[in-house]
Structure 1
Amino acid sequence: MSLVAILEQALNGLIVSSFYALAALGLAIIFGVLRVVNFAHGELYMLGGYAYFLAVASMGLPPVVGIVVAAAALAAMGALVEWLLIRPVYDGRADRPEEYSIMITFALSILLLNLANSLFGPWPRRPEPLFRGGVEIGELIVSGDRLAAAGVAVVLIAVLLAALRYTWAGRAVRAVSQNREAAAIFGISVTRVGMLAFATGAALAGLAGALMGPVFNVVPPMGVIPVIKAYVIVVLGGLGSIPGAIMGAIILGQVESFATILIPDPSRALAYKDAYGLVLLVGILLLRPQGLFGTKERRA
């Protein structure tokens, strides 16, 4: 295998990893703060793609503005979902909060999927990309839409990490994720932080869907495979771990990219691509059940 081919596979893996990381970070933040596994995350990803499509195709907004509109729309929706459906998980209104969170997010997933099918139909839509054409990097030629979307995803991830580290809201999110009771004692509004966390997670899912929409197609079931990979990444890195989600996304992207060259037939190699992450997850959990960056919980 030539050096150019190796570099091409590595670059493709990094580009895909940036999209995976964006979606997985949303799941990690929601679980870290609320301890809720959001089964509707893939549908929020899908709604981000449709929000971007409507903003660009119907409203005629520039693609960059369309990204902002999709993020804002999904953040508002996430805050509403948290207020109406998720808050009973931790405010004492649900008798069995774990079972309630599973059922309510699963029901929301089915509702949003069928609603999208009714409103938009099953036909694929392809919105305007952020950048057309190709980009030459030495002997490598990368499609401009993928490279531009990956660049925006990396910038968004960097902004998120900076916000979590240096802003008051980010520090509040980290405090609640570490110890909810202690954070409340120090005057942090756990309710507001919960809403902020779910809105942020929904916005990240929507951003991932908006960035991926021009690369592939916007269809109602577009979030099924990405959210499965986001679950794999979050468990692989350690539930609720932000560095773990980023590292897990990089590992999964590289494994999928390089594993496809192990099978000579390209069509068969691509058909098996989605299984590589599951094999990787099983291997990691056998060696380190808490994930790469997770910590073992003490049981009484």
Structure 2
Amino acid sequence: MDFLVPLLAQLTNGLIIGFIYALMALGLTLIFGVLKVINFAHGEFYMLGAYISYIASRMLGLHPIIGIIAAVAVVFIIGMLMEKALLTPIYEDKVERKDEYALLITFGLSIFLMNGALVVFGPYQKSPEPLASGVLDLGVLSVSSGRIYAVVLAIIFMAATLFIINKTWLGTALRALSQDRDASTIMGINAKTLGSIAFGLGAAMAGAAGALLAPVFLVFPIMGVVPAIKSFVIIILGSMGSIKGAIYGSLLLGIVESLGVFFLSPSYRDGYSFLLLIIILLVKPKGLFGGSQWNN
């Protein structure tokens, strides 16, 4: 029993972190699936969400949930504006090497946002108000109430996104755009506007993940680097462009990290994701779901 309780605690923590990883990886998958762009600034949208949550809860005195909603809304708008300003040349045939342009422009955006946060907020760690205080007693183990609320909100955000993708006209248009941009335009879909919306939604999910994890991991300018790397690991692990792969891959990664911390060492926590990726790709080179489409 002495062995079982800490193990259950680690598994629970792994699932909680996995759901929030899934939120961020789902946003990256959405951007890649619709725009065919790998967003290297995804971690910085995560960081922006955390800072907006901090400003709302600490500086403005708003309820933490209002801060999270504000983070999602503001990052969505920023994401749309960034897509319109920086990625439009790709679709207007103004650049010859489109993939290289997208890589460089999003990487440059990452550096700009990171250094902008450093100038505005400084290098010091900050913490927004937690979602809740105290712990929830589950019988054999206790879990922080704030983490429970965080995972519930993460599931709600993911469910809302999946509902939009699968059950609305907007989702149908986004799926069409992901399959053939030119044919979608001929059929009357405004590809430019929908591309901006897709990028904004993906960025907003990263912002939501940052706001949810901010009270746990604190807020600082380079906080998005490691979560962004793990998001890339997850979408490769689950098959590039697969929504199902992004969700299951995130949960698997969260559990593997927690088990690695429990059985091996917490010092190598961030390395377990790469070990898992290597093992999966050796067995299934196309990922867990064999290159499924983004809307699967």
Fold equivalence (TM over 0.5): yes
Output the CA distance in 1 between the equivalents of 2:150 and 2:112. Answer: 29
1:271 positional shift:
0.9
1:261 positional shift:
2.3
Matched, 1:9 2:5: no
**Paired residues for 1:1-300 under 5 Å:** 2-263=3-264, 269-295=265-291
Output the CA distance in 2 between the equivalents of 1:94 and 1:113. Answer: 26
RMSD of equivalent CA atoms: 1.5
| Aligned-partner residue type, residue 269 of structure 2 | K
Output the CA distance in 2 between the equivalents of 1:130 and 1:182. Answer: 45
* Mean Cα deviation higher: 175-184 or 211-220: 175-184
Output the CA distance in 2 between the equivalents of 1:256 and 1:125. Answer: 25
Stretches of structure 2 lacking an aligned partner (at least 5 in a row): none
Output the CA distance in 1 between the equivalents of 2:182 and 2:267. Answer: 47
SS at match of 2:257: helix
Output the CA distance in 2 between the equivalents of 1:169 and 1:228. Answer: 29
1:11 positional shift:
1.1
SS at match of 1:238: coil
1:5 positional shift:
3.3
Output the CA distance in 2 between the equivalents of 1:18 and 1:55. Answer: 24
* Mean Cα deviation higher: 7-16 or 132-141: 7-16
Output the CA distance in 2 between the equivalents of 1:112 and 1:178. Answer: 31
| Aligned-partner residue type, residue 272 of structure 1 | Y
Cα gap change, 1:217/1:296 in structure 2, threshold over 3 Å: closer, same or farther? closer
Q: Percent identity?
A: 48
Deviations 1:62-115 (A, max 9, x none): 111111111111001001000000121222111211110011011111111111
Match of 1:266 in 2: none
| Aligned-partner residue type, residue 275 of structure 1 | G
Deviations 1:194-214 (A, max 9, x none): 111100011011111111111
Output the CA distance in 2 between the equivalents of 1:234 and 1:5. Answer: 30
Output the CA distance in 1 between the equivalents of 2:239 and 2:187. Answer: 27
Stretches of structure 1 lacking an aligned partner (at least 5 in a row): 264-268
TM-score by length of 2: 0.95
1:177 positional shift:
1.6
Output the CA distance in 2 between the equivalents of 1:273 and 1:296. Answer: 29
**Aligned 8 A contact 1:88 1:94 in 2:** yes
**Aligned 8 A contact 2:22 2:250 in 1:** yes
**Aligned 8 A contact 1:290 1:296 in 2:** no
1:296 positional shift:
8.5
Output the CA distance in 2 between the equivalents of 1:113 and 1:141. Answer: 36
SS at match of 1:214: helix
| Aligned-partner residue type, residue 28 of structure 1 | T
1:20 positional shift:
0.4
Output the CA distance in 2 between the equivalents of 1:289 and 1:174. Answer: 25
1:9 positional shift:
2.3
Question: How many residue pairs align between the two structures?
Answer: 292
